[in-house]
Amino acid sequence: MSKLLTVRDLVVEVPARNIKILDGISFSLEAGQTLGLVGESGCGKSVTCCAVANMLPRGIVRSGGSVTFEPGGPSTRKPAVPKIAMIFQDPTSSLNPVHTIGYYLESALYRHQGLKGRDARMEAMRLLERVGIDRARSRLRAYPHQFSGGMNQRVMIAHALAAKPQLLIADEPTTALDVTMQAQILHLLEELKAETGMSLMIVSHDLGVIARLADRAAVMYCGKIVETASVAELLERPSHPYARALIDCMPSIDPDDLAPPVPIPGSVPLLDSLPEGCHFHPRCSRASGECSARFPAPANIGFAHEASCYHPVAA
C-alpha cells in the first residue's frame, strides 16, 4: 500500500504563551488504513487532527515539521490536493442551529461536487439514507435541535461523505452518545470505510474503540507520541509504561480475571509546567535518574513497533 499521509517532526505551539502543544511528533498513514490516536485528555490528540486538516484555531500555529498528503501516491506529478473531512466530538454544537439539515448538506455538495437544486437535494437524501436516517425527504427540512445526538452525528458523517474524502478524521465520534448509539456509529464507520476505501484516523481515550476500528495505534502523552504499533501488538505486548498503564485501567470481562482496574497515579501535567526528560516519569514506577534528564529517542521494539522509553515493559 502507498503512503497517503506522512507527518514528520510536527511542532504546534501557542506563541503568545511560549507553550508547545505538540513537540516533534511523527507518524504515517497508508491508503485504506485506520490509525488510532489514544491517550488521556489534554495529550494533544485533537490538535494533531486539526493540524493535519489545517484547521488550527486562531492563536495556535504550526511552527515546525511537515504534513505531506499524497492522494495519488509519491509518483504523482501534480501537487497533492488533500481530500480530508473531519467529524467532531459534539455534533450538535458543530451544526449551525439557524440552518436546516438540508441546507447544511446541500451547501457542502455544491462546494465539493458542484451539485445544486434538485440534484443536490437528491444526493443529500441519498447520503442521509446511507447513514441510517429514514424519511430523508422530510428530515432535510428539520433543524439540528430536532435531532438526537446520535442522529446529528450521522448528519456530520453524511456531511463528511459529501466531500468524497480520501481521509476521514473522527475526533472522539462516540463521546457524547449512549452505548447502543456508540455501537451503531462505529459499525457505520466500518461499513463506510469498507465501501469507499478511504483511510480513517480516529481519536479516542477508549482502547475498546481503537481495538475495534484501528489497524495501527499511536499512544500520545503531553504532546509527544510515546509508542506506535499495530493494535494487536500494542494490546498484547505494550512496551511503554504509559501504554501498559492505559491497558491496566480497562475493566476486564474475562470471568477468570476479575481484578479491578488499576488507576494511573497522579495527573497529566500542564503544558506550561512539564517535567524535564520523559514527561511521564513522575507517574511511572519504572523511572530512573536518566528518565528525568532527557526525553528518550524512539527505539525499535519489534517489527513496525517503536517506543520512547529507557525501561520498556517488554524488556
* Per-domain boundaries in the chain: 3-78+204-307
Q: What is the pLDDT of residue 117?
A: 93
Nearest to 304 by CA among 9, 15, 89, 27: 27
Share of the chain above pLDDT 90, in %: 73
Q: What is the average pLDDT score of the chain?
A: 90
User: C-alpha grid cell for residue 48?
Assistant: 494533531
Q: Are strands 19-30 and 3-14 parallel, antiparallel or unpaired?
A: antiparallel
How many CB atoms within 10 Å of residue 176? 17
Global pTM value: 0.90
Q: How many helices (H) and strands (E) does the chain have?
A: 10, 11
pLDDT band for position 8 (50/70/90)?
very high
pLDDT at residue 239 is higher than 70: yes
Task: Average the pLDDT over each of 11-20, 81-90, 114-123, 147-156 and give the range with the smallest value.
Answer: 81-90
Task: Give the architecture (CATH level 2) of 3-78+204-307.
Answer: 3-Layer(aba) Sandwich (3.40)
Question: What is the per-residue pLDDT for 59?
Answer: 93
**pLDDT per residue as tens digits for the range 70-106:** 876 544 445 445 689 999 888 888 888 999 999 999 9
pLDDT on residue 90: 83
What string of DSSP letters covers 19-76?
Answer: EEEEEEEEEEEETT-EEEEE-STTSSHHHHHHHHTT-PPTT-EEEEEEEEE-TT-TT-
Q: Is residue 51 a contact partner of residue 9, using CB atoms and an 8 Å limit? A: no
Q: Measured between alpha carbons, how far is 272 from 41 in angstroms, rounded to an integer?
A: 16
Q: Decide: helix, strand or coil at residue 226.
A: strand
257-291 pLDDT, tens per residue? 777 888 899 889 999 899 999 999 999 999 999 99
How much is the pLDDT for 75?
A: 46
CA distance 168 to 157: 9
What is the rounded distance in angstroms from the CA atom of residue 203 to the CA atom of residue 173? 8
292: which 3 cell numbers? 528525568
Contact 278, 309 (CB under 8 A): yes
Least confident of 19-28, 259-268, 285-294, 302-311: 259-268
Interstrand relation of 224-230 and 305-307 (parallel, antiparallel or unpaired)? antiparallel
Give phi and psi for 151, each to the nearest 5. Answer: -70, -40
> Which of 108, 94, 111 has its CA nearest to residue 152?
94
Phi, psi (rounded to 5 degrees) for 230: -65, 155
